[in-house]
Amino acid sequence: MNLVPENDLELTDEEMHLYSRQILLEGWDLDAQEKLKLANVLIVGCGGIGCTVAELLARAGVGKITLIDADHIEISNLQRQIAFTQSDIGFYKSEILAKRLVQINPHIRVEHHVAKLDETNAISLVSEQDLVLDGCDNFTTRYLVNQICKQLNVALISASAIGFQGQLFMVEGDSACYNCLFPKEQHNNESLRCADSGVLSTTPNVMASLQAHHALLYLGLNRMPLLQKLLLWDGLTMKQRILAFERDQNCSDCQARSTLES
């Protein structure tokens, strides 16, 4: 049996001290902080977005963080991937990031996988989560994460950044999904990814900070300001727009979920 002792669910004195600035916050409280401690979060991709969202959630006190990424660290990553240093070049991203998170906050649990999220591991990884944070760099993974989160009814907050532009949205329960917004049948442009397109060092970090902020709102307060809404951030004008979108009745990912329910 895998029972967690009841006192493990409560915050220790040291944790109360560590998170005191949050617990003092009006609109946030002990209850919200304890919800964070109980939360299981999967971060897909340990690049520019993954590094920052992972670090912010570790500092905020999310109890269990799982990282997945197959890549190793290259010199061109250091411009924006804030967890890594020169001496980390050649090592696996998920492994180095996991070590850093535990150094930052020894009270949380961190698991890492040196792998690409694909059909063989997605269901087992996503099914144990309360929330998935997508920060991957390619559309194949982005559609798969959306599909599996829909199928398993696990909340998803997805962030992306290319050039000076960023996007952020949330999918939960019966909401519209990424495939409703951008149907994959109409999408075959796999070429747009950070690896081959330029990106300013700050852009993924702005989007990851917004993603981490939304994750805390969801996990601690059950607030979902970006549910069925697409946030667009333009890094040249600094303008932010939020566009509502609806469920597509022909969406294969949403239909698969409806079939499971009936």
Q: For tokens 């340990």, what's the residue?
A: 46
Should residue 251 be labelled a site residue for Zn ion when binding is judged by CB under 5 A? yes
44 part of the interface to Zn ion, by CB under 5 A: no
Query: Which CB sits closer to Zn ion, 17 or 187?
Result: 187
230 lies in the site for Zn ion, by CB under 5 A:
no
In angstroms, what is the minimal distance from the CB of 89 to Zn ion?
40
Does 180 interact with Zn ion (rule: CB under 5 A)? yes
Among residues 179, 203, 205, 211, the one that binds Zn ion under rule CB under 5 A: 179
Near Zn ion by CB under 5 A, which window of 6-14, 112-120, 151-159, 244-252? 244-252
Least CB distance to Zn ion at residue 179 (A): 5
CA 28-82-76 angle, to 5 degrees, is: 150
Residue 132 Cβ, how far from Zn ion at the closest point, in Å?
15
69 binds Zn ion (CB under 5 A): no
Segment lying near Zn ion (by CB under 5 A), choices 69-77, 157-165, 170-178, 199-207? 170-178
The residue (of 44 and 177) whose beta carbon lies closer to Zn ion is 177
Binding test (CB under 5 A) with Zn ion, winner from 136, 177, 194, 212? 177
Q: Which is nearer to Zn ion, 81 or 228 (CB)?
A: 228
d(CA 37, CA 31): 10
In the complex, least distance from residue 24 CB atom to Zn ion, rounded to whole angstroms: 40
Only segment of 81-89, 103-111, 175-183, 231-239 that touches Zn ion (CB under 5 A): 175-183
- Enumerate binding residues for Zn ion (CB under 5 A): 177, 179-180, 251, 253-254
